[in-house]
């Protein structure tokens, strides 16, 4: 009993719970994932969840959304920075998304979009959390596009398009169990960006 309480206060336990919850929410969504399953997946005492997240499932989900959102943005940003040409960078990013999804047997997509679809009209706290993450993504995306497209509103439109196209392609790729939607989405994003670059150079 004492060891269980000690484990509950271990920061590593909190990390395990958060990571396990993120995996399960990606694969099963919010309604399909229970706290007992999260405890089992994280190899943590059930009481640990309430120790770290007194608000229960909603508090844990909000924490996962707000912690994994920036992590996803850093991964995408690293891919976009991997090559200097913006069009090639977009191809690299979307191709990597297709390969990563296939590597998980089309099980692991974006937890932010998964939860947003499920709770947008039923849970204001979680809707706000997902909206805040998407806003941060758009802001960071607009900064990246702004390096190549001088018009700020154009850069923001491209960032919105990239996120919308990427998330929609994830849904199609998971449903069809194919990377084709993500690869096609990447080409569409390249075409949109090329047109914006051409307009900016006139």
Q: Where in the chain is the domain with CATH 1.10.10.60?
A: 1-54
pLDDT of residue 5: 42
Q: Are 42 and 20 in contact (CB under 8 A)?
A: yes
CATH number assigned to the domain covering 1-54: 1.10.10.60
- Cβ of 141: how many Cβ atoms within 10 Å? 22
CATH 2.30.300.10 describes domain 61-200: no
Q: pLDDT, tens digit, for every residue of 165-176?
A: 999 999 999 999
Q: Where in the chain is the domain with CATH 1.10.357.10?
A: 61-200
Token pair belonging to 49: 């969840």
Q: pLDDT, tens digit, for every residue of 62-107?
A: 999 999 999 989 999 999 999 999 999 999 999 999 999 999 999 8
What backbone torsions phi and psi does residue 196 show, to the nearest 5 degrees? -65, -40
DSSP class per residue in 90-138? HHHHHHHHHHHHHHTTT----HHHHHHHHHTTT-HHHHHHHHHHHHHHH
CA distance 107 to 23: 9
Q: pLDDT, tens digit, for every residue of 99-146?
A: 999 999 998 877 788 888 888 788 999 999 999 999 999 999 999 999
């Amino acid at each position: 009993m004492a060891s269980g309480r000690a484990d509950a206060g271990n920061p590593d336990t909190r990390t395990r719970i958060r990571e396990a919850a993120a995996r399960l929410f990606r694969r099963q969504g919010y309604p399909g994932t229970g706290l007992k399953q999260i405890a089992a997946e994280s190899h943590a005492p059930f009481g640990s969840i309430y120790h770290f997240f007194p608000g229960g499932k909603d508090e844990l989900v909000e924490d996962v959304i707000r912690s994994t959102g920036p992590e996803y943005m850093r991964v995408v940003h690293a891919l976009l920075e991997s090559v200097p040409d913006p069009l090639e960078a977009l191809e690299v990013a979307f191709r990597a998304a297709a390969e990563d999804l296939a590597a998980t047997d089309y099980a692991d997509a974006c937890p932010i979009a998964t939860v947003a679809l499920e709770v947008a009209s039923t849970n204001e706290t979680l809707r706000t959390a997902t909206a805040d993450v998407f806003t941060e993504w758009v802001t960071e995306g607009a900064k990246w596009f702004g390096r190549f497209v001088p018009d700020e509103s154009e850069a923001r439109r491209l960032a919105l398009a990239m996120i919308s196209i990427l998330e929609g392609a994830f849904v199609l790729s998971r449903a069809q169990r194919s990377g084709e939607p993500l690869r096609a989405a990447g080409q569409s994003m390249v075409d949109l960006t090329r047109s914006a670059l051409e307009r900016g150079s006139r």
